[in-house]
Amino acid sequence: TVLTQSPALAVSPGERITISCRASESVSTLMHWYQQKPGQQPTLLIYLASNLESGVPARFSGSGSGTDFTLTIDPVEADDTATYYCQQTWNDPWTFGGGTKLELK
């Protein structure tokens, strides 16, 4: 299953942003989102499309089902500079999107 993400975003702190992830076939709601900062391991933000991982700020939210999914950050903060990946675990093999690099202006 190919997951397609827009490659990059540049936004100002305080804005509301959405990062999209489109799957080449249905993944039900088995879509998860990760944040990865340079030189670090990814960390889980959202699981099962819309569930906020413990300890993750409520500024992050997820939605979607089937083939279209969205990660929303509202409001964006400077610390959110990172690459964001979607991942599906409905179809074998589990796959990741190419990542969306978020830069703060």
Partner 1 sequence: QVKLLQSGAELVKPGASVKLSCKTSGFTFSTSYMSWLKQVPGPSIEWIGWIYAGDGGTNYNQKFEGKATLTVDKSSSTAYMYLSSLTSEDAAVYFCARTYGGSSYFDYWGQGVMVTVSS
AA letter at 3: L
| Residue 13 or 56 having the CB closest to partner 1 | 56
In the complex, least distance from residue 93 CB atom to partner 1, rounded to whole angstroms: 4
Please give the angle made by the CA atoms of 56, 77 and 42, to the nearest 5 degrees.
45
| Residue 13 or 29 having the CB closest to partner 1 | 29
Q: Is 20 helix (H, G, I), strand (E, B) or coil?
A: strand
Q: What is the DSSP letter of 78?
A: G
For the record, the structure tokens of 101 come out as: 């690099």
In the complex, least distance from residue 78 CB atom to partner 1, rounded to whole angstroms: 23
Binding site for partner 1 (CB under 8 A): 30, 32, 34, 40-44, 47-48, 53, 85, 87, 89, 92-99
